[in-house]
Amino acid sequence: MIIFGTKGYLYQLAILTLVCGNCGNPAAHTLRKRVTKFTLFFVPLFPLSTKYVMQCTFCGVEQKITKEQAEQLQAQAANGQAYGQPQQQQPYQH
């Protein structure tokens, strides 16, 4: 008998203060990574899918984003530039 399946994992990457595109409020947004892994005998072996989402803590709306956008937002959070609009690039300043 072989037991196999999938298991989901949710990782919180960062919390950023952004203006929500849905409700228009400046609120905390959680940046999360969802990974679904193939399991054999309840042991996770390899990832089947990876998705990145932003969720507004004010209204609860979730927005799917790309890996590149998630990495950019995570870098902004690490640099302390965690306030602004999601998916907008900051202009280069001298």
Cβ-based neighbour number of residue 64 at 10 Å: 10
End-to-end C-alpha distance for the chain, whole angstroms? 65
Torsional sign, CA 19, 20, 21, 24: negative
Predicted pLDDT at 37: 96
Question: pLDDT in tens for each of the 94 residues of the chain?
Answer: 889 999 999 999 999 998 998 888 999 999 999 999 999 999 999 999 999 999 999 999 999 999 999 999 998 888 765 454 444 433 333 3
Predicted pLDDT at 87: 42
